[in-house]
Amino acid sequence: MKRGIDTSPGSEAKKAKPGSEAGDSELRLGAAPVATLKAAASAARAVTAALLAHSPALTAPPPRLAWGLDRLVLDDRFGEEQLRSLLQAGGSDLPETIAGRRRGPGASSALRCRAVLSLPGGVGQGIAAGVGLAIGQMHLAATFDQSQNTLFRHRVFVVCRGGALPSGVASESCSLAGHLRLGSLVVVCCEDGEIGTEDTSLRYQSYGWSVQHVSGCDELALLAALEATRTSEQPTLIMVRTVESSPSASSVDRTEDCTGWVSQGAAAASAWLEQLKKFGESHAEEHAEIERRFSGKLPENWREGFPEYHVGERAQATRQYSAKVLGTLAAALPEMIGGSADLTGSNLTNQAQLKDFQHNRNKGRYLRFGVRESAMIGICTGLAAYGGFIPFCSTFMNFFTYGWGALRLASKSLAHVIYVATHDSIELGEDGPTHQPIEVLAACRALPNLLTLRPCDGPETIGAYEVAMRDNSGPALLALCRSGAHTLEGSSAENVARGGYILQDYDPALVPAVVLAASGTEVEICAEARALLQSIGVGARIVSLPCWELFEEQDAQYRQSMWQAPNSATSGVPPMRVYVEASSTLGFHRYAEVHVGMTSFGASADGKIVRKHFGFEKNAIALRVMEALKDKGHILPRSYRIGRFGFCKFGAAIGAATTQ
């Protein structure tokens, strides 16, 4: 239902009698949005026509190889119908929508380098993406353009309706755009009566924007406003007053104009490609770098310099392992650009010591987003859409929910972005339930097209980054811990690409009784519980599942091999499956019958105390396994029943084994 319009059955009957004060009020409230909506649609046609007349390069269909020409974003697909009709009249068209696609080889190429990006993500999301496109343009212009060369001197236009401007994601993005003085960014807003009662012009001027007002019926004034943006050193907001047009005014045949714009757009693309060719003749190395980056290919030696992690070394948090890997990548690959939402010191995302991107230093590749999670994620989607970049961004895992709408859009759009989500569970400790993610891991796994990777140690962290870099068919999120994690025996960077693997197998001298599966920090706890269980004669296997999505892509035989006992086993009883993770148990049923997870919010205390309180330590896990084995009628090992422990309670048995 459109806001303010009651379209439910019998809605007319709900109104007061004609002539009454209440009835007149409701009629006004119900009718005004309809008229405004029609006027906004008329203004959208005027705006899209003016944009094509002003910048015919926007007519180029994909694949668009003229990367340095103007870009257009349709926020929440506003104006798409009007723009499509104009392009079709000129013999061109809009590409298919990016919504609903599934990740797979080459899928993300549908997003990159489009002349027109129509984003179905909710009002305001397109503005954030536009900010990302403008940052990409200004960075590449500062990196590759010289006085005689203007490969990347272009503008980024965003068309939106008035309701987009008060949105949180637009407000966050636009305040940052004003601070960074993104002069190439132009937002054209068709007023629709949903801005509210605030002074939008004053607010945007305070952000550092240039604000202009024109009538949707005055094409010359609109063209003049667009022309004025060519030399602006500030982002520009053009507010288009909507005036309801007559049917004849909105149906003027512009076929001849459209054909001319499409022809001019093709000529502009050819001219740009010729300019790129001449640039290559005098700057062969830079030309090759541009070609490589926009092709989406990584250099052959991109993994050189990765750290090595070995069993027996001092434990580090996976966020610390990540810092070294990401630092190596960012230092070696100029397409890596990104930052943190005011938590660089905790997320450890600038070990490469990249220079900040600022209004007077556009060559910088580190973005200080501030506490703007929605804008941060949306801006990175824009950077990915530009082409030639692999953006990354970071905050605490719990705070990715602040930008959930932007994360959904990135997943729908198959944007190749790397999200670094640190402090991934209750073991972050003293900050308490406000910072401790319980449901977030399950929510990320539920989001289509998003790879959620939760490595358990250094080698798996390397493997997670290798997956995130190589698989450019969509976004990837790395869930990283705060506390120390030792490098585990059997850990493998290569096996992360399979989503799950046997980290430590059964002792061949014992009857296989249990499979302990986990991800992240809890894998090490399970390994400790396995040693404890095997010391009392219970055969246990450890399966690490760093990425459920990748594991589900493996063939059935491989997946089943994780849970089946070896062929040599003679008990005839399938091993019991236990899944352990310090998060919501939603989804555990896929892999296990016994679930050790969180069913409440966390608590504020030292991380080790919190972990022990909720049962995430080796003694508690081993005890839970033994109780479950007994409940399911498994025949317990003789050494457990009578041997050195005698007939004793489970807790005493585990305690005795721990002591020994």
SS3 568: coil
- Which residue out of 373, 460, 524, 549 is catalytically annotated? 373
Is 335 part of the annotated catalytic residue set? no
In contact, 457 and 318? CB cutoff 8 Å: yes
Among 55, 67, 79, 63, residue whose Cα is nearest residue 261 = 55
Residue 44 dihedral angles phi and psi, to the nearest 5°: -60, -40
CA distance 99 to 54: 28
Bond preceding residue 459 cis, omega within 30 of 0: no
Among 429, 625, 445, 432, residue whose Cα is nearest residue 525 = 625
CA distance 9 to 552: 45
What is the pairing mode between strands 576-584 and 594-598?
parallel
CA distance 142 to 242: 38
Q: Which residues pair with 485 in a beta bridge?
A: 316
Residues 6+ apart with CB under 8 A from 660: 535
Count of Cβ atoms closer than 10 Å to residue 608 Cβ: 13
Residue 421 carries which DSSP code? E
Residue 176 carries which DSSP code? H
Residue 559 dihedral angles phi and psi, to the nearest 5°: -60, -45
Task: Please list the helix, strand and coil fractions of the chain in percent, rounded to the nearest 5, in that order.
Answer: 45, 15, 40
DSSP 184-199: TEEEEEE--S-S-SS-
CA distance 472 to 105: 8
DSSP 280-293: HHH-HHHHHHHHHH
- ∠ CA 443-449-452, rounded to 5°: 50
In contact, 396 and 403? CB cutoff 8 Å: no
Find the DSSP H helices in 55-188.
80-89, 125-144, 168-180
**Helix-helix angle 125-144:373-386, to 10 degrees:** 50
**Helix-helix angle 458-470:318-332, to 10 degrees:** 40
Residues 6+ apart with CB under 8 A from 140: 68, 151, 152, 388
Find tokens 């004034």 and name the residue: 221
How far, in whole angstroms, is CA 386 from its chain's centroid? 15
Residues annotated as part of the active site: 373
